[in-house]
Structure 1
Amino acid sequence: MALKLNPEAKAVYRAIREEIRKRLVLPESSRFLDAFEPVSDTKEILRRQDYLRENLPRIKPELRDCLSRVMPITFRRDFLHDRILVVDESEVEKAEKLNLCEVTPNIEDTEEYPLVLSTTGHGIDVELTPSQVAPELYVLPLWENRRTLEALARIGELTGRESVAPRILKALRKLDDVMERQEAIDSIEELVAEKERELNERISEKLERFSLILSGKELLGFLDELKARNYEAIFRHFGGIEGDILDLINGAERELGERLGVTVELFSRGELYPVSVPPERVEMLREELERELKVELYLRSREILGEVMPLLQRLKEELSTVHELDFLQAAKEFTGGFTFPGIHGGGITFINGRHLFIENPQPVSYVVGKMPEGFYAPGSEVIKDERIVILTGANSGGKTSLLELTAQIAILAHMGFPVPAEKAWIEPLDELFFFRKKRSAYGAGAFETALGAFVRALRTDGRKLILIDEFEAITEPGAAVRIIGELLKVAHERGFYVVIVSHLGEDLKAELPFARVDGIEAQGLDGSLNLIVNRQPIFGKPGRSTPELIVERLARKKRGKEREIFERVLRAFREG
């Protein structure tokens, strides 16, 4: 059953949840966080604690980087126009329902297709299953997500969980050479153009070093050929350089063939300089290579899929587990240094609690209800299992922050999480109410609203913790004592836990003998005239407020007539 929270308490829960959520690497992981909303059931709280105790220690810092490299793997269901499936007449309807490629009962219809599949003994024999007709639709997404598979393999190593990713990656290596050729085919124009430029440069360098010794008659013939730009005749008749150029061309074609995985003859032998390749020849080569590669890709994919298909369900589970691990790493990062609270039947207690949203907070210990064995803080020897506590003391001394910390610890404990304290104990609650001081709301309307909300918190039974910040700020002090006193009597009669921040501690104590009054005191001014405050409440002792110290600070800061007036007021404090 969910822990009921009033709007201010829900705001504390949302702030905690956001702190955890922003540490997630994968947005989808928030669904695991959703499963940890605060609950009131003791067994569920303990189950969550056991789960986190077991799993948080396994989370290593390196996990975050691995998680950031995990992407969803989606197996497509595309219609492939590069193949046709030949089936018997009786199988046509079944084959068409696959909706993966063209289907025909006639072998004559297959002439234009690079890949012909068949269940009748023609082409490449297949069964009528998606994995047989189009294995690439399974294998290519795995190939494209190798980075994810590598991350999953590393996550398995870090968490000590067996992963199927290494076996899938090993099988995918059979596709390496096919995909290298695919990459080369995709950039064939650039490859040919680069080789053409390189070849002409090398021929040009060879021509620069070319020298001839000619007779007069040969010189005249040479000049005629040069004038006609008949380089082929010059190379053939004057100097024997033609063989060297042909060697360069053959070498360039061999290099291209190695990249493309096929023997090619692209460059013209008719005109040896400058060499060039007609665009139509490049396009014809591309089409030929793509037809061959489609067959090779299909055959390799079918082989690979035979190995990895039994692993795909496990892979899906691993990908789901990644989100759980992401939640765990965010939870561990958020709760570093926290401790799991003990469950007991005496309210809420914590030792050296640290406010979640204050930088470098002073640790504070506090008890509402029964004091557990082993607890100690200033004045704790006077604690008598008081469920109603009045917190008094210095302005800006940390009273509101202590209420907030109490709410934070209570909510985290009911989520099943560790809490920001050295030690903590809590009684599982049914409801948590937090009433903040509304600094901008005054008058009858504000008083009526606040009073109504307070009464609603008291009207039903159950295990409740009620935190109230300066209720008297919205009404007259005299009326506040009577109203608050009677409401706290109702809370006491119903067995609720209440912490109320008030400057009316001594007046309320006179009305409520069952209540404990704690105090946070200012101890003086530092060299910069800032208040020195020990934020640890002293149990059972009302805290002095700070007017005297504020007057002293002003007296020391001001000059002239203003200082004289403040010093007079200060003397009145001390003499009185």
Structure 2
Amino acid sequence: MDLESIPGVGEKTARALAELDDPERALRTGDVATIASAPGIPQGRAARIARGAIRREHDDPGGFLATDRAREIYRDLLGLFADRTVTDYAAQRLETFYPSPRRSRIEEVREFAREALERNPDDEILEALRGVEPLESPGDVRVRERCLATTDAERYSEAREAIPELSVEVVEDAQGLAELARGYSTVIAIDESFAGVTVEGDVRVRADALEEPAEIVPERPLAFFARNRDPIAAAVAVHRTAGMETDCDLDALEDALSRLEADGTVAGDDELDRLAIAVDDLDAAVGTAESVANDHLREAIREEDVTIEGSDLLSLVERGAGIDSLLSRELADEYAAAVEAAREHLIEALSLDQGEAEVARRIFGDEPTFPVEREDEPLSRLREELTAAKERRAGRLKRDLAADLADQRGAVRQLVRDALELDVELAVARFADDFGCTMPAFGWDRDDESDTAPPHAGFEIEGGRSPLLDEPRSAIDPVDYDVSGVTLLSGVNSGGKTSTLDLVASVVVLAHMGLPVPADRVRLRRFDALHYHAKTQGTLDAGAFESTVREFATLAERGAGSLVLVDELESITEPGASAKIIAGILEALDENGATAVFVSHLAGEIRETAGFDVAVDGIEAVGLVDGDLEVNRSPVKDHLARSTPELIVEKLATEAGEGVAANGGTVPGDGPPQFYDRLLEKFE
């Protein structure tokens, strides 16, 4: 795939995307998380890049949402889906769904949506999803006590690229290895020529080191799993709760994660814990052991009656002997007991094994002294042995754990991706459940699988409820409406004309996104674009009026296959002129095969002016109840709806007539019935 051919992707972005393991898969599937892991690409931009890649794949020219109001409808609908997501990823992933005129793209998403509708948005699953987030690749892993060594400059470059976590050193011979071993705990020679070389220190020859990086740097997979331990654990919980299939051995994965600390070290090993504590507590334990010995010896001296004859004292003084000699001669047993107590305390405090205990015993010598003092050389040796044993143990545990986890890294990435994608599916399922949605049928769903529809085929909606109304679903009256070709929609003020247009627009946008629509049944043609012109606020000035007419001129010329929704275009200028202009627009749209619904209070005038038999539908108000309109929300076909003023005059005429019948004459303040009858005649 030529990355720069994707809309919105330049040379710099293409280079960043090329660093991904499989950029084509990520772009093809709309994997926003993976795209966003490329250097310098935030999630919002990742969604736009994915959308561009999808458009390119389906040869989608874009521009389906041809007007500001159409784009508002789309954004509002997308917001309703996003409100039903748990993760930030899912909300961004929804941005890759857009209305398209291409059948291949619509069908692709329809397949996804059908599977999504089978999902059960269980509360337990939603709760588990709260901990899932895209995985991070830690780039800050550095291991300083280990290095790679080579004699070859080309091999040096390969090593730096393959294992950036370690320093790579160039040496000339075995002597160079020996010098490195004095500065590093472990040196790994990656040249075959070093095989059989014996060098003091921990020097290993691994010619395959670059092919087995997890064995050389177990910190790499461990850092990845440690950084992402919580979202991985959450993804495991999601899979278990939802009963999702995975290539991961979830039990083994959970066991491995339980042995991993947040800093990438291995947890849960008693021997490593013992060695770590011994190294950390060594100085404190030795100090305490000294106190034990000295306290023991001090008490013995305090209780011991020592008698020294003059000649003996003189002999000690002449030889320059001091208290040590006196201890050796008079308190040898007590000193030995004190030292033994110190040794036993040290061994027990640090839980030393037999070999370590032998070294520890030499820290307190047999030669009597007071106060009892440690020997530095055996103390340093014990420290070195404990530290080396700890590092060997930690290294082996890291390698073992890394081996358990490294092979699962790819499967774990898929595990988390599937959990995040489940959130997207559940958002669709929740939207469909909340708004009573169904999958729409397109014109190509005919028996002959034709991808064309008759020139004037439009849409058929049964039991539609606009999701954009700020009302609970139960409070919204269902709407049935079908349109083929060009239609005028009449109706009373506040009768639901604009809501009907919003419903139609919502159904068409969602259908062309490949998603379920809020209705009991929907059938429609595949439209090339949606032009939705909202109601204009006030009469336009000459410049704005001219711009609006130009826009409709272009639409009339190129709008074949479009759906055109217009709300009270007559407000752009004087009513008489508006009727003529709208009639002309409708004639042009009819000629080029567009589907259109124009809401207008001038439907009668427009119908009379138009040069073809334009259809007029009406949202009928059946009366006034306590001053409020009682409306049949489903437009009545071929019916010019009565206006609100007509209904009010009819109500007044009826009440006046009833008053005359009841009182035998005109009721003061109500007016004569003949006046209202005359007004009603004007509406005929």
Determine the structure 1 residue equivalent to 2:246. Answer: 162
Matches within 5 A, 1:235-384: 254=348, 257=351, 292-336=389-433, 337-344=436-443, 345=453, 346-357=457-468, 358-360=470-472, 362-369=476-483
Q: Partner of 2:144: helix, strand, or coil?
A: strand
Amino acid at match of 1:368: D
The Cα of 1:413 is off from its aligned counterpart by 0.3
The Cα of 1:14 is off from its aligned counterpart by 2.0
Matches within 5 A, 1:213-252: none
Q: Partner of 1:438: helix, strand, or coil?
A: coil
Question: 1 CA distance for matches of 2:383 and 2:628?
Answer: 80
Determine the structure 2 residue equivalent to 1:94. Answer: 155
Q: Partner of 1:389: helix, strand, or coil?
A: strand
Question: 2 CA distance for matches of 1:568 and 1:115?
Answer: 108
The Cα of 1:253 is off from its aligned counterpart by 8.0
Residues 520-570 of structure 1: CA distance to partner in whole angstroms, max 9, x if unpaired? 3162133xx4444343323322222223667989xx9xxxxxxx9996699
Residues 331-360 of structure 1: CA distance to partner in whole angstroms, max 9, x if unpaired? 222232310001134311111111112322
Residues 485-544 of structure 1: CA distance to partner in whole angstroms, max 9, x if unpaired? 122122222222111111112222334533133223162133xx4444343323322222
CA spacing shift, 1:178–1:392, aligned 2, 3 Å = closer
The Cα of 1:439 is off from its aligned counterpart by 1.6
Determine the structure 2 residue equivalent to 1:152. Answer: 235
Question: 2 CA distance for matches of 1:146 and 1:316?
Answer: 12
Question: 1 CA distance for matches of 2:168 and 2:668?
Answer: 99
Determine the structure 2 residue equivalent to 1:4. Answer: 64
Question: 2 CA distance for matches of 1:92 and 1:303?
Answer: 32
Question: 2 CA distance for matches of 1:64 and 1:283?
Answer: 56
Amino acid at match of 1:359: E
Residues 140-165 of structure 1: CA distance to partner in whole angstroms, max 9, x if unpaired? 32144332332333333325312315
1:66 is the counterpart of 2:128: yes
Q: Partner of 2:78: helix, strand, or coil?
A: helix
Determine the structure 1 residue equivalent to 2:561. Answer: 463
With the length of structure 2 as denominator, give the TM-score of the two structures: 0.62
1:137 is the counterpart of 2:220: yes
Identity in percent: 24
Which of 506, 522, 543 is equivalent to 2:641? 543
Count of residue correspondences:
513
Which of 32, 39, 50 is equivalent to 2:111? 50
Determine the structure 2 residue equivalent to 1:179. Answer: 267
- Counterpart contact for 2:209–2:216, Cα < 8 Å: yes
CA spacing shift, 1:4–1:141, aligned 2, 3 Å = closer
Q: Partner of 1:111: helix, strand, or coil?
A: helix
Question: 1 CA distance for matches of 2:254 and 2:91?
Answer: 29
Which of 102, 111, 115 is equivalent to 2:186? 115
Residues 53-90 of structure 1: CA distance to partner in whole angstroms, max 9, x if unpaired? 13441454344333333441425474421123455x3x
The Cα of 1:49 is off from its aligned counterpart by 1.5
- Counterpart contact for 1:389–1:500, Cα < 8 Å: yes
Determine the structure 1 residue equivalent to 2:515. Answer: 417
CA spacing shift, 1:75–1:570, aligned 2, 3 Å = farther
CA RMSD of aligned residues (A): 5.1
The Cα of 1:172 is off from its aligned counterpart by 5.1
Q: Partner of 2:145: helix, strand, or coil?
A: strand
Determine the structure 2 residue equivalent to 1:13. Answer: 74
- Counterpart contact for 2:116–2:429, Cα < 8 Å: no
The Cα of 1:40 is off from its aligned counterpart by 1.5
Question: 2 CA distance for matches of 1:411 and 1:566?
Answer: 53
Amino acid at match of 1:366: D
CA spacing shift, 1:485–1:285, aligned 2, 3 Å = farther
Amino acid at match of 2:64: K
- Counterpart contact for 1:5–1:432, Cα < 8 Å: yes
Determine the structure 2 residue equivalent to 1:516. Answer: 616
CA spacing shift, 1:73–1:475, aligned 2, 3 Å = closer
Determine the structure 2 residue equivalent to 1:533. Answer: 631
Question: 2 CA distance for matches of 1:78 and 1:342?
Answer: 54
CA spacing shift, 1:574–1:34, aligned 2, 3 Å = same
Question: 2 CA distance for matches of 1:170 and 1:92?
Answer: 42
CA spacing shift, 1:312–1:476, aligned 2, 3 Å = same
Amino acid at match of 2:459: I
CA spacing shift, 1:29–1:501, aligned 2, 3 Å = same
1:80 is the counterpart of 2:143: yes
Determine the structure 1 residue equivalent to 2:300. Answer: none
- Counterpart contact for 1:433–1:465, Cα < 8 Å: yes
- Counterpart contact for 2:279–2:383, Cα < 8 Å: no
Question: 1 CA distance for matches of 2:497 and 2:74?
Answer: 20
- Counterpart contact for 1:174–1:300, Cα < 8 Å: no
The Cα of 1:474 is off from its aligned counterpart by 2.0
Residues 160-206 of structure 1: CA distance to partner in whole angstroms, max 9, x if unpaired? 3123152344445566794357889999999999999xx9xxx9xxx
1:393 is the counterpart of 2:393: no
The Cα of 1:431 is off from its aligned counterpart by 1.6
Question: 1 CA distance for matches of 2:132 and 2:382?
Answer: 38
Q: Partner of 1:459: helix, strand, or coil?
A: helix
Determine the structure 1 residue equivalent to 2:12. Answer: none
Residues 455-509 of structure 1: CA distance to partner in whole angstroms, max 9, x if unpaired? 2221115212111101111211211222211221222222221111111122223
Determine the structure 1 residue equivalent to 2:209. Answer: 128
